[in-house]
Amino acid sequence: MGHPVLRQVARDLTPVEIKSPELKRLVQDMIQTMEEYGGIGLAAPQIHESIQLAIIGYEDESERYPDMGSQPLSVFINPKITVLDETLQGFWEGCLSVPELRGFVERPRKIRVDYLDLQGKAQSVTAEGFLATVFQHELDHLAGKLFLDRIRDTTKLSFTEEYAKYIAPQHEETGEEELED
Ligand code: NI
Using an 8 Å Cβ cutoff, are 176 and 91 in contact? Answer: yes
Q: What is the pLDDT of residues 31-61, one digit of tens each?
A: 999 999 989 999 999 999 999 999 999 887 6
Q: What is the pLDDT of residues 122-167, one digit of tens each?
A: 999 999 999 999 999 999 999 999 999 999 999 999 999 999 999 9
Q: In the prediction, which pLDDT does 137 show?
A: 98
What is the value of pTM for the model shown? 0.92
Q: In the prediction, which pLDDT does 66 show?
A: 55
Torsion of CA 123, 88, 177, 114, to 10 degrees: 10
Q: What is the mean pLDDT of residues 61-82?
A: 80
17 Cα–ligand 1 center, Å: 24
Q: What is the mean pLDDT of residues 103-115?
A: 98
Q: In the prediction, which pLDDT does 171 show?
A: 77
Q: Give the other-Cβ count within 10 Å of 34's Cβ.
A: 22
Cα 175 to Cα 173: distance, rounded to the nearest angstrom: 6
Residue tagged active-site, from 61, 86, 138, 161: 138
The share of the chain scoring above pLDDT 70, in percent, equals 92
- Active-site residue flag, 162: no
The share of the chain scoring above pLDDT 90, in percent, equals 83
137 Cα–ligand 1 center, Å: 6
181 Cα–ligand 1 center, Å: 5
Using an 8 Å Cβ cutoff, are 166 and 108 in contact? Answer: no
159 Cα–ligand 1 center, Å: 16
35 Cα–ligand 1 center, Å: 14
Which residue type occupies 80?
Answer: K
